[in-house]
A and B are shown apart, each in its own frame.
Chain A
Amino acid sequence: MMRAPVNKIIPFSNVDGPGNRTSIFFQGCPFNCLFCHNPETIHLCRGCGLCVQSCPAGALRMEGESVVWDSAKCVGCDTCIRLCPHDASPKIRWMTVEDVVEEVRRAAPYIEGITTSGGECTLHNEFLIELFTAVHRLGKTCLIDSNGSFDFEKDPRVLAVSEGVMLDVKAVERHWSDELISHPRDVVLKNLDYLLSVGKLHEVRTVILPNRDRENEETVRYVAAHIADGCFYKIIRYRPYGVRERYQKLLGEFETDAAYAERYAALALELGAKKAYVV
C-alpha cells in the first residue's frame, strides 16, 4: 500500500486557496529557501536520534534505525524540531491515501476543497493522483500548492486531476535565485508560463523581503508582466516567525513593512496584474 510522509493536516484553513479548505502538508522539499518558515519540513528524518533523549514528554523512542513518535504523549513543545540538525521532524505520519481521505471526509461538510502543500507535495505525485481522484468523489476541489520544482508539462497526470496550482515564484534573477532557494529557477519560470497557458494557474505568490529593493522589483516585474490578469498575485510580507536564526540575521529579524509591500502590489497592478494584493 502506497504511503506518503505527512507533516500535518489542518482541517480548516482560510489562506490556502478559495473558501475554507483542508490543508495537507507533506514532508520533504527539494528547495532550501533561506526564508523558509517551516524548515522542519525540508528533509526526512535520518534517524540520528538526537531528539529522542531531549524530548521532555518522553514521546520519542528509537526503533531500530528509526525515531518513533507517540502523538498521544507529545505536548507539542517542538524541542525536537529546534534541535534537529537536519531540518527534519520526527513528528510525521506515513499515511495511506485512505488515511488522508478519512480526515478530508470528516471536514467535507465545512470545506470547499483541499490544498496539498509542504514541503513540496509534488514529490509525492503518485500519491496525489490517487488522493485527488478520491477527494473529487467527495465533490471537493483539489489545489496544489507548489514551489514549481516539478515540471508539470513533462508529466501532466497530476494536473489533470487537479483544479489548479498555487505557484511560488520566489526569485527570478539567476544568482539571487541560487542564493535564496538553492535551486535553479528555470523550471519554476517554465511552469509559470505553462500553467498560465493551460488555465491551471490559480495564484502566484512572491515574498517581499525587507530592504531588497532590486531583487523584489525584478521578481515582481517579471511575474506581473507574465500573468497579467490571468490569476491572483499574492504579495506576501516576509515574517521572521519560524525562520532559522542564521537566516533571520541575513534577511531581517523584523517583518516587511506593510507600506513597503504595498508599493510592489501597486507596481504589479501598474504592469497589468489586476488581481495583485498584499497579505
Chain B
Amino acid sequence: MSEALRIIQDPTLTYKQELLALARLGESTDDSLRYSDEYYEAKKKGALCDLNEGVMPYRPRYICPDYELLFKNGCKFLDLEPPKDLLEAVNALEIFYCHVPSITSFPVYLGDLDKLLEPFVVKEDRAFAKKVLGLFLRNIDRVQTDSFVHADIGPEDSVTARLLLELTEEMQLAVPNLTLRYDPEKTSDDFALACVRCMLRTAKPSFANHRMFVKEWGERYAIASCYNGLSIAGGGYTLPRLRLYECSLGAKDVDDFLTRELPRHIDLQLEYMDKRVKFIVEQSSFFKTNFLVTEGFVKQENFTGMFGVVGLAECCNHLLGITDKKKGFGMNREATALGLRIMDAIDARVKAHEAPYCEAYGHRYRLHAQVGIDTDGMDDSPGTRIPIGVEPTMLEQLEVNEKFHPYFPTGTGDIFKFEETWLKTPEAVLAIIKGSLQNGLRYFSGYLENNDVVRVTGYLVKKSEIEKLRAKKQSLNNVTVFGMGAQDGGHALDRRVQHHDESAGQ
C-alpha cells in the first residue's frame, strides 16, 4: 500500500490531519537539500534526529509574530485596521492566527494575551469581557487544533489574566498551552497563587523564570510551543536534536566520547542546521514575500537555530556502565557530574560555531532540551530529565534540574505530578516554585494526577481524547496521537506523584 493511500484510509485522521500528512509526504519527494554521507549515517543510527521537520523547509519551524504591531498598525495583507475595542481585537487575532505558519502549520505563539487585550478588557463590563474571552478561547481550541499552540501571561497581574485563568479552569481545554512569566518582584503572591490553583486543576499555566529569560533575550521574549524561549518578532529556524544515548554507543569510554564521538555528532548537527537555515533564508520564499516579513511582524535577524539534545541521562548511565537507572543519572553524583561535563562541552562547541543568519544573538545557535517524541520510547529521556519511574524526591529532582536548566535559553522544563491534597495548599506549591526559580530552574510545570487535561512531556492532552484514538475514533487535536505514543512507549504519564505525608495527626 502506498503511504498516500495509508493516510487517506486511516480512520483516526481528521480531514485536516490527512491534508497535513499528505503535505509532508509531498514535501518528501524533493531531495535538493543534501547533507554529507556521514550525516545520513548518523541519522540512520538514530544518533541524530531531525524531528521530521521535512526535507524542504518552506517556513521557519517556530514563528513568534509581534502582535503589538498588529494592534498598532493593523495588517495590510489581511486588510485589518488597528482594533478599537475588545471584539475587534479578538477578531483580528483569530484571523491573524490562521495565517501564521509553523512546523505544525498552527501558530505556536499567540502573544502576551493579557498585555495585548487589557486596554480593551478594562473598558468593558467584566461579564461581557469574560463572555468574549471565553468565545476567543473556544475559537482557539477548535480552530488551532494543536497543543503546541501557546499563549503567555504575566509577570504582572491584570483583569485579563484573571479572566483567562477563570476560563481556563472552567473550560478544561488542552489548547492553548499557557505560561506565566514569573518574577518575584513583579508577580504578586495573590496572582501567582491563582496561577498555581489553575495549574493544578488544568495543567496550565507553567511558570517561566522571567528574570532568566530577560537576561538572555531582553524583555521581548516569547514562550512558544512546549516551553521554547524565542524572540518576539523572531523565532526558531530549525530544531534538530542529538540523541545522546545513541551518540554514546560508539564511544569506547568517557574520554573517547568527549573528545571524538560527541564533537563529531555536534558538528554533523551544526552542518544540518547551517544548510537548513541558509535554505530557508536564501531559497524559500518565506523571508522574501510572506506578509509577516514584509510588514515587519517578524524580522529575519531575530531568528536563531535551536540546537536540541535528548537522552542525557541514558548517555551518562551508558558511559559509566550503570545498568540500574535507579542508581544512575539524577541519583548518582558521578553520573550527574558527567552530565554537566557533557553539557559544558556541547555548550562550548555550539557557542564557538559561527551560525548563519542569527544576527540578533551574536551569530550563534542556542541550546534546547528537546522534550522527546512519541517514538523515543525509554531509550532517550526528554532533554536532561531524570528518567520517568526512577525520579528521586522532589527536592533532589529540583536540585538536579537547577544545575541543567541554565544551559537552555531556547527551552527546557520539568513536570511534577501532585496528588489531590496539594490543591488545598497552593501556598506550599508556590513556595517550591519560588525556591526553585530562585535557584536556577528555568521552567516549572505541574498538574494533579486525576486531571483529564494532563501534560505529557511538554504539551497538553486530554486523557479522554487518547481513549478516543484507542477506540479508533478521531481526535480533533493533532497532538493526541503523540500523547498516546508517549504514554505507551515512554510511560510519560506515569511520573512520580508528589504524595502528601501520610504521617500527620493519627
Chain A residues within CB distance 8 Å of chain B: 10-16, 18-21, 23, 25, 35-38, 106-107, 109-112, 117, 145, 168, 205, 207, 234, 236, 238-239, 241-242, 279
Which chain B residues border A15 with CB–CB below 8 Å?
A: 421, 425, 500-501, 504-505
Contact A239 B506 (CB under 8 A): yes
Question: Which residues of chain A have C-beta atoms less than 8 A from B506's C-beta?
Answer: 35-37, 207, 236, 238-239
CA distance A148 to B413 in the complex (A): 44
Given A12-B498, A238-B506, 9 more A-B residue pairs with CB atoms under 8 Å apart are A12-B395, A14-B428, A15-B504, A20-B425, A20-B432, A25-B503, A35-B506, A36-B506, A111-B435
24 interchain pairs, CB-CB under 8 A: A11-B394, A11-B395, A12-B394, A12-B498, A13-B500, A14-B425, A14-B500, A14-B501, A23-B503, A23-B504, A35-B506, A38-B503, A106-B399, A109-B439, A110-B395, A110-B431, A110-B432, A110-B436, A145-B504, A205-B504, A236-B505, A241-B502, A279-B421, A279-B505
Is B120 part of the contact surface with A, judged by Cβ < 8 Å? no
B502–A16 contact, CB under 8 A? no
Is B58 located at the chain interface by the 8 A CB criterion? Answer: no
Q: In the complex, which residues of chain B have a beta carbon less than 8 angstroms from the beta carbon of A109?
A: 435-436, 438-439
Cα-based distance from A38 to B506 in the complex (angstroms): 8
Assembly CA distance A21 to B395 (angstroms): 12
Minimal beta-carbon separation of A244 from chain B (angstroms)? 13
Chain B residue with the shortest CB-CB distance to A23 = B501
Q: In the complex, which residues of chain A have a beta carbon less than 8 angstroms from the beta carbon of B393?
A: 11-12
- Closest chain-B Cβ to A209's Cβ sits at a distance in Å of 10
Partner of A19, one of B421, B427, B505: B427
With CB as the reference atom, state the residue of chain A lying closest to B419.
A14
User: Bound complex: CA of A234 vs CA of B425, how far in Å?
Assistant: 14
Which residues from 369 to 408 on chain B have a C-beta closer than 8 Å to any C-beta of chain A? 393-395, 398-399
Interface of chain B residues 192 through 224 with chain A (CB within 8 A): none
Total residue contacts A-B, CB cutoff 8 A: 88
How many B residues face the partner with a CB closer than 8 A?
A: 27
Question: Which of A19, A207, A242 touches B502 (beta carbons < 8 Å)?
Answer: A242
A111 touches B431 (CB 8 A): yes
Q: Tell me if B422 is interfacial: C-beta within 8 Å of chain A.
A: yes
Docked complex Cα distance between A212 and B439 (Å): 49
Instruction: Give Cα A168–Cα B505 distance, bound, in whole angstroms.
Output: 7
Assembly CA distance A106 to B425 (angstroms): 22
Residues of A within 8 A of B500 (CB): 13-15
Q: Chain A CB within 10 Å — which of B425, B427, B428 has the most?
A: B428
Hey, which bits of chain B sit against chain A, CB under 8 A?
393-395, 398-399, 421-422, 424-425, 427-429, 431-432, 434-436, 438-439, 498, 500-506
Q: Which are the 8 A-B pairs with shortest beta-carbon distances?
A: A110-B435, A109-B435, A20-B428, A14-B428, A11-B395, A14-B425, A13-B501, A20-B431
CB B13 to nearest CB in A, in angstroms, measures: 43
Give the residues in chain A near B434, CB-CB below 8 Å: 110
Residues of B near A21 (CB, < 8 A) are 428
Query: Looking at the complex, which one of B421, B431, B432, B505 makes contact with A205 (CB distance below 8 Å)?
Result: B505
Instruction: Please indicate the chain B residues that have their CB under 8 angstroms from the CB of A35 in the complex.
Output: 506
Chain A residue contacts of B424, Cβ below 8 A: 14, 279
Query: In whole angstroms, what is the CA distance A106 to B393 when docked?
Result: 13
Interface centre among A35, A38, A107, A205 (most CB of B within 10 A): A107
Q: In angstroms, how far is the closest chain B Cβ from the Cβ of A212?
A: 14
A10 near B501: Cβ-Cβ < 8 Å: yes
Q: Is the CB of A37 within 8 A of B431?
A: no
Q: Which B residues are in CB contact (< 8 Å) with A20?
A: 425, 427-429, 431-432
* Cβ–Cβ contact B425 & A19, under 8 A: yes
Task: Give the residue name and chain of the A residue nearest to B426 (CB).
Answer: A14
Q: Is the CB of B421 within 8 A of A14?
A: yes
Interface centre among B422, B438, B498, B505 (most CB of A within 10 A): B505
A216 to chain B: closest CB distance in Å?
14
By beta carbon, the residue of chain B nearest A168 is B505
Q: Given A19-B427, A109-B439, is A12 in contact with B432 using a C-beta cutoff of 8 Å?
A: yes
